[in-house]
Chain A
């Protein structure tokens, strides 16, 4: 049913249709509206046979989800930013124990300095924890990926994180086709766990594993996650048959036929990128894009096949691995490794801490990649004047103070000066 609805509420409705049995919630912006929506559905009776547990922290939220999942319940939670960091130990445990929990991450920057706005730092901090990570481009996709996530998680007995851009998607009101219960039931069978803690049939999970077996356990975790490279496309086809629209997939190419330049990105910025691609195509530029849906597992073969014929690949990503550069760009670089004739790779960091990513800036960026390429990571729309002044000041003054406060002071002073 088509609805004009806030992204968070659309996701809450879709998650409820997946019949979760335990939802653990601890509020943190910008994810809060999702679990609030689910809380309302449980309270009103629209979502039955579901226990909604308010917990005292994010660490407890995921720990309770782990317990519930191990006891054979379909478990769900959601978080963002510092909340994900606070549950970090449990994030690794959920994956290590092979528990098919689904968690929404309302992507938000990580402090310090504290920042409530969108980027992908939180998702990147847990990219190696063993969870599948799927990124949504629109709220329709956010809805669809959650349904896909439960199926995928339970098929593999592995947790799945659905990454949704905080505010940009969670707080946007737009048209979403909310599936009906019969469709979801046809796609998602009841949870049939591969392991259950049951007092009638005592067993333990979570053994201590020494050097004699740890490598094998880890190898199998890697092997198992790579099964998702086959399952995600298969389930996506199945999804299309039942719901009548495409969803998921490992990645989605856009106008890449004969493209000499291909832009790779994840999440909501892909929409803006597509508008820029259309405008540049109209001017005769051979440019296309790839929206990456599955970041973990990373679809190396599919990316290599699409990107290999291009002359230039521009990676636009909303996070910075301090001291190295863009983590997505690094992964793409790895996918292109050992090619005989490989495209040039251009890494751009954009949209940090909620900075808007405009069509104009993207268009300049794509042109610059071809005409005057840069080395390393390029920070889109960086205020070089402010950065230069701060670097200079820190060199001169030993007790130079906090960078965040200094930058804010500079910006406040600048706003009081006449323009120019």
Chain B
């Protein structure tokens, strides 16, 4: 079983992001379970959503306490809650920011993870560019597909199109495509110069 926890704020499409990811996995014939941290969600308030993916029926109903991948949609949450709680040493980290890990003082956490398993993507910038709305969720799913290889990018595109039919979907897919390409480019650059993460 692979477990993903997404941290963000109300209005950023955190819950929809987890749901679209579960749909992408479902399209590949896998079992997936997406659910929100149930609360009184309000615009701007911290929101957590979860997604589990497995090849067999998922029976577990506890919130994800030991994620294999952490997606941080909003780095301002770093000052508010312990977003890294339970992230294991073999895990993946995906952060939406136009800054660097050093700017965010996350170098120590990144270095605990296997090389290449922590990446940053300016997903909000990409969303503003393509969708004209600061909803970074679709772009982050594109980045997730590139980072983990857990779901195919094609499935992510189809899941986005199902959630957002028409032009909005196309714009979100364009944002996801750019994020996907960015992460693959980062990976190629890292492998070309393995001395520096």
Contact = CB atoms under 8 A, between A and B. Distances in A.
Chains A and B are bound partners: yes
A303 B61 CA distance: 25
Interface residues of B, number: 21
Contact of B61 (A2, A173, A268): A268
B35 interface: yes
A268 B22 CA distance: 19
Interface residues of A, number: 26
A174 B59 contact: no
A30 B40 CA distance: 11
Contact of B58 (A4, A167, A174): A174
A101 interface: no
B23 interface: yes
A7 to B, nearest CB: 9
A215 interface: no
A17 to B, nearest CB: 21
Interface in B54-87: 58-63, 65
Interface in A116-135: 116-118
Contacts of A269: 61
| Chain B interface mostly | mixed
Nearest to A2: B26
Contact of B38 (A4, A274, A354, A357): A354
A271 interface: yes
Of B22, B27, B38, B61, chain A has the most CB atoms within 10 Å of the CB of B61
A116 B40 contact: yes
A275 to B, nearest CB: 5
Contacts of B60: 271-272, 275, 359
Of B33, B38, B65, chain A has the most CB atoms within 10 Å of the CB of B38
Contact of A174 (B27, B33, B38, B62): B33
A211 to B, nearest CB: 48
A74 to B, nearest CB: 31
Which 4 residue pairs across A and B have the least CB separation, nearest first?
A: A271-B59, A4-B26, A167-B38, A173-B34
Interface of A: 2, 4, 6, 30, 116-118, 138, 167-168, 171-175, 268-269, 271-272, 274-275, 354, 356-359
Given A172-B35, A174-B22, A174-B58, 12 more contacts: A4-B22, A117-B38, A138-B59, A167-B35, A172-B34, A173-B19, A173-B23, A175-B26, A175-B31, A271-B60, A272-B62, A274-B59
20 contacts: A4-B22, A4-B23, A30-B38, A118-B38, A138-B59, A167-B36, A168-B35, A171-B38, A172-B33, A173-B19, A173-B22, A174-B22, A174-B58, A271-B60, A271-B61, A272-B59, A272-B60, A274-B59, A356-B63, A358-B62
